[in-house]
Amino acid sequence: MKKDIRFHAGKYDVVVVGAGHAGCEAALATARLGKKTLMLTMSLDAIAMMACNPNIGGTGKGHLVREIDALGGQMALIADQAMIQFRMLNMSKGPAVHSLRAQADKRIYHVNMKQVIEEEPNLDLKQGEAVEVIVENSQVTGILTKTGGLYLADAIIICTGTYLKGRIYMGEVNFEGGPSGLFPANDLSNSLKQLNIDLKRFKTSTPARVHRDSIDTTVMEIQEGDNPIEPFSFMNSKIDVSQVPCYLTYTNEKTHDIIKGNLSRSPMYAGEMESIGPRYCPSIEDKVVRFSDKDKHQIFVEPEGLDTKEMYIQGFSTTLPEEVQIQMYRSVSGLEKCEIMRPAYAIEYDCIDPTQLKRTLELKFIDNLFFAGQVNGSSGYEEAAGQGLVAGINAVMNLDNNEPLVLDRSEAYIGVLIDDLVTKGTNEPYRMMTSRAEYRLVLRQDNADLRLTEKGRRVGLVNDDRYLKFKEKEQLIENEKVRLKKVIANPTDEVQAYLKEIGAVPLKTGVSLLDLLRRPEVTYLNCAVIDKERPILPEPVWKQVETQIKYQGYIEKQFKQIEQFKKLEGKKIPESIDYNLITGLRLEARQKLSLIKPDSLGQASRVSGVSPADMNVLMIYLEQMRRTKNDER
């Protein structure tokens, strides 16, 4: 323990370090589950800060927000309160990839989340910098702050985002710093290294913010929101807000010439930055170099809030010097006279190698030390919040000696996210996408409550109001499916005329409305003309009914795949297994399996470097172990 402890600041069940999106969900979860919790943040003004884009959700990310909500988390509720524009993405594709996305007022999001945290019983909120994790006998015992305060704790959750040894880059200028002009956290990185935790160096970047009055939106393409608005939270039936527009413009040949002429001044291309950035959110320099055949790139101009003139220039992140930024931004149509209020920058930061974590997000070799969010190598508010919620739940489960919450790949996008991080690791900031989920037809955003509310109830985060609302919806869905199966559509003149009008094949004999709905031309809404006794149902209910009916065959096929997946997941691997003793395993497989320590054959099969041949050897070895144990009995 450090000698420069000045005072004993208090004793808590759980200390959460960081108040970003991961920290907020983690701290609220532990407090709501009855644990005395401290949230420690370097700045109270940075709680739930949206340091980058002013939106919540998006492709794959909208699924995460819905899942957080179904489990009893907070993000969706705050997103609904802060929403200033709503869009449903991928509507030209199937329901598996439909994703909610909302522009959010950054200030409202921060203020409302901070208020929820301040009003939460069992949760103390304090400003201070954590500098050392105190560990005794491979178990966390407390956290030390920069001012010498020692907080004793039974569990600690590290949610430090991009603050660890943060360094800001703008062209030739670089300096220590955190996001949005805040201080970095340097000492905590050193403490983690002293605990033999492997660290990586990642980076992310953010575009400039420009003054609204200095841009000409009349020459840009307007991007209106969708109506009606579909809430993120299953607790909200509707949202009525006056939506604000976003705008679309494009880079051009002049923009690209400015960038190409100054590439040597970009720290990425000058070799000054060796850290790895997100492949799926490249800087404008990367876009121009990697996609040199394109003569323009999309630039979205998005409001940061209702009471600010700051506009976020989505798609225009850069590490070029500020004076070059001014030139290239002003080369874009509508931005010719723009005034930059906050220049674009990149931030380098330390994060841990997530393969050191269990699927509960607890460190494998230090008890009750959890990590969540960008410190685990992920990117994005939604990915962070999902991890924070799981880490918070599992910290409490650990302390109470209860079964942990481990969501597998067939149950939730959160399960895919965590499994990818802890099993495969990541060489760049990890971003959730629908393509990462092999069972995405089952893991839709519209059924997140049907998949996860019972789990949230079981751990204690789903309150009575939410659970009652969920059970009523569940019952309405089943009742309507039963009713549709009983109602017969006969080949009457009215029915045949309806089918002809929608371009469907006429009936030869009577069929149930449930079977009729399987036809692509027939929808729940347009068959109202022949469904005379249809009950008035909430939109989420009848949409769920329609989706389940239309995609039943595909869903059943996916459930069969999930059954096979579950069989491998259910075959547990003893913690005491020594892979070096298994003859027939390749050296790489032994090394990787010894490092990851998978808890099941399913997880072992996803470890990078483990081949199908290695899996056969491992399965035979485990079967031999099982038979030997049975013989000894």
| pTM reported for the whole predicted model | 0.96
The 10s digit of each residue's pLDDT in 86-132 is 999 999 999 999 999 999 999 999 999 999 999 999 999 999 999 99
Confidence band of 160 (pLDDT split at 50, 70, 90): very high
The 10s digit of each residue's pLDDT in 177-236 is 999 899 999 999 999 999 999 999 999 999 999 999 999 999 999 999 999 999 999 999
Q: What is the mean pLDDT of the segment spanning 481-501? A: 95
pLDDT of residue 257: 96
Does residue 424 share a domain with residue 279?
A: no
Task: Please say if the pLDDT value at position 30 is more than 50.
Answer: yes
Judge whether 566 lies within some domain: no
pLDDT of residue 54: 96
Q: Which domain holds residue 360?
A: 7-204+349-459
Judge whether 617 lies within some domain: yes
- The helix, strand and coil proportions of the chain, stated in percent and rounded to the nearest 5, come to 40, 20, 40
pLDDT of residue 277: 74
Instruction: Read off the tokens for 117.
Output: 């945290």
If one compares 4 and 59, the residue with the highest pLDDT of the two is 59
Give the torsion sign (CA, 75, 77, 80, 86). positive
Does residue 600 share a domain with residue 540?
A: no
End-to-end CA distance of the chain: 47
Q: Which of 459, 488, 507 is the last residue of a domain?
A: 459
Cis previous bond, 228, omega within 30 = yes
Q: Which of 327, 346, 365 is the last residue of a domain?
A: 346
pLDDT of residue 633: 63
Confidence band of 21 (pLDDT split at 50, 70, 90): very high
Judge whether 561 lies within some domain: no
Does residue 186 share a domain with residue 274?
A: no
Does residue 580 share a domain with residue 517?
A: no
pLDDT of residue 1: 45
Instruction: Quickly tell me which residue has 């050392």 as its tokens.
Output: 132
Task: Please say if the pLDDT value at position 137 is more than 90.
Answer: yes
CB atoms within 10 A of CB 240: 6
Does residue 474 share a domain with residue 444?
A: no
Judge whether 591 lies within some domain: yes
Among 4-13, 27-36, 299-308, the range scoring the smallest mean pLDDT is: 4-13
User: To the nearest whole percent, how much of the chain has pLDDT over 90?
Assistant: 92
Query: If you ran DSSP here, which 8-state letter would residue 374 be given?
Result: G
The 10s digit of each residue's pLDDT in 325-373 is 999 999 999 999 999 999 999 999 999 999 999 999 999 999 999 999 9
Does residue 437 share a domain with residue 310?
A: no
pLDDT of residue 275: 76
Judge whether 563 lies within some domain: no
CATH code, domain with 610: 1.10.150.570
Contact 133, 192 (CB under 8 A): yes
pLDDT of residue 129: 97
Q: How far apart are CA 17 and CA 21, in angstroms?
A: 12
Angle between helices 448-459 and 381-399 (to 10 degrees): 30
Angle between helices 106-119 and 75-82 (to 10 degrees): 140
Among 389-398, 457-466, 514-523, 526-535, the range scoring the smallest mean pLDDT is: 526-535
Cα distances (angstroms) measured from residue 58 to each of 150, 432, 587: 40, 10, 41
Q: What is the mean pLDDT of the chain?
A: 95
pLDDT of residue 280: 72
Q: What is the mean pLDDT of the segment spanning 547-572? A: 95
Does residue 167 share a domain with residue 43?
A: yes
If one compares 403 and 275, the residue with the highest pLDDT of the two is 403
pLDDT of residue 485: 96
Task: Please say if the pLDDT value at position 518 is more than 80.
Answer: yes
Does residue 200 share a domain with residue 230?
A: no
Does residue 493 share a domain with residue 477?
A: yes
pLDDT of residue 268: 80
pLDDT of residue 630: 78
Judge whether 318 lies within some domain: yes
Does residue 355 share a domain with residue 342?
A: no
Does residue 61 share a domain with residue 83?
A: yes
pLDDT of residue 3: 56
Does residue 417 share a domain with residue 387?
A: yes
Cis previous bond, 179, omega within 30 = no
Closest CA to 522 of 548, 501, 494: 501
Q: Which of 524, 556, 588 is the last residue of a domain?
A: 556
Judge whether 564 lies within some domain: no
Q: What is the mean pLDDT of the segment spanning 504-511? A: 94
The 10s digit of each residue's pLDDT in 431-459 is 999 999 999 999 999 999 999 999 999 99
> Residue 494, Cα to own-chain centre: how many angstroms?
49
pLDDT of residue 2: 54
Among 79-83, 119-123, 124-128, 606-610, the range scoring the smallest mean pLDDT is: 606-610
Q: How far apart are CA 506 and CA 498, in angstroms?
A: 9
Number of domains in the chain: 4
Contact 238, 292 (CB under 8 A): no
